[in-house]
Copies of this chain bind each other. A is one copy, B any other.
Amino acid sequence: MDDIIFGKNSVLEALIAGNREINKILISKNSRPDIKLNKIKDLAREKGIIFQFVAKEKFSQYAEFNHQGIIAHISPIKYMDLDEFLEKRHVNESLIILDGIEDSHNLGAIIRTAVCAGVSGIIIPSRRNVQINSIVEKTSAGAINHIPIIKVNSLNNAIEKLKNSDWWIIATDASAKDNHYDINYNDMNFAVIMGAEHAGVSKSLLKLSDFIVKIPMMKDFNSLNVSNATAIIIFEALRQKLTKR
């Protein structure tokens, strides 16, 4: 069964990445041509992918998706297996592990930020976490085609495997003593566990972690949006890498 992806960025990025089969592209007859749309048409022609111009009413069922008058029918994303990921040699790389993220927009934003920061993959559990859907694809602005999504049945097992493969595990927790920037992220493979917005990282995963860190806050206020929290940590790691601390 095909997925549907929405919007110019999503369709364009899927065409560029080329790792999924695009079965057809539907474009609203009312769409005004612009640089992105022209690029989409050129690439589709080049790759022999059908695109059709259809009445804008065809899109009314997708009103909630901010489709910009363009959708594509595409094969579902292929998840990577953790064993397959670990078969390759990894040097000073990073992973993000998501534990119970519920919001599609947050997952999409995390994927996008992960690609910008050069993260090597994102691990999500097959249950109790939002899965890849159209909103995730849209919010990721096509980034989803540029990073392995590793789906696992048990985060506990996945973390054990990572530790046995010389990965260091960093969990985030609001009550941690250490600050996230106290970690030296250079010269190791590390995976950062980000928890659900309300519940945080599960106790069993905290126990398995090598480091537990917090993002210090200036006000005693609620907490950060999880995609922003993820961005702060992985871009601190990138800062350290680029400046050698």
Instruction: Please report A residues at the B interface, Cβ cutoff 8 Å.
Output: 9, 13, 105, 109, 112-113, 115-118, 139, 141-143, 146, 179, 181, 215-219, 221-225, 227-229, 231-232, 235-236, 238-239, 242-243
Contact, CB under 8 Å: A116 / B217? yes
A113 contacts across to B, CB distance below 8 A: 224-225, 228
With known contacts A232-B231, A238-B216, A221–B181 Cβ distance under 8 A: no
Contact, CB under 8 Å: A112 / B225? yes
Given contacts A109-B228, A112-B225, A143-B221, 11 further A-B contacts (CB under 8 A): A9-B222, A118-B219, A141-B222, A142-B222, A179-B239, A179-B242, A181-B239, A181-B243, A216-B238, A228-B231, A236-B239
8 contacts between A and B (CB under 8 A): A113-B228, A115-B221, A116-B222, A116-B224, A139-B225, A228-B231, A235-B236, A236-B239
Contact, CB under 8 Å: A218 / B105? no
Report how far A139 CA is from B197 CA in the complex, Å. Answer: 12
With known contacts A179-B242, A215-B235, A222–B143 Cβ distance under 8 A: yes
Report how far A238 CA is from B179 CA in the complex, Å. Answer: 12
A141 contacts across to B, CB distance below 8 A: 222, 225
Report how far A219 CA is from B114 CA in the complex, Å. Answer: 10
Q: In this complex, which of A118, A141, A218, A227 has the most chain B Cβ atoms within 10 angstroms of its Cβ?
A: A218
Which residue of B9, B13, B112, B219 is within 8 Å of A116 (Cβ)? B219
Report how far A242 CA is from B115 CA in the complex, Å. Answer: 28
- Of all chain B residues, which has the CB nearest A9? B222
Report how far A228 CA is from B215 CA in the complex, Å. Answer: 14
A117 contacts across to B, CB distance below 8 A: 217-218
With known contacts A118-B218, A239-B181, A225–B227 Cβ distance under 8 A: yes
A222 contacts across to B, CB distance below 8 A: 9, 13, 112, 116, 141-143
Report how far A217 CA is from B115 CA in the complex, Å. Answer: 9
A181 to chain B, nearest CB (A): 5
The 8 closest A-B pairs by CB, nearest first: A118-B218, A228-B231, A232-B235, A116-B217, A109-B225, A113-B228, A181-B239, A115-B221
A9 contacts across to B, CB distance below 8 A: 222
Report how far A233 CA is from B222 CA in the complex, Å. Answer: 20
Report how far A236 CA is from B112 CA in the complex, Å. Answer: 20
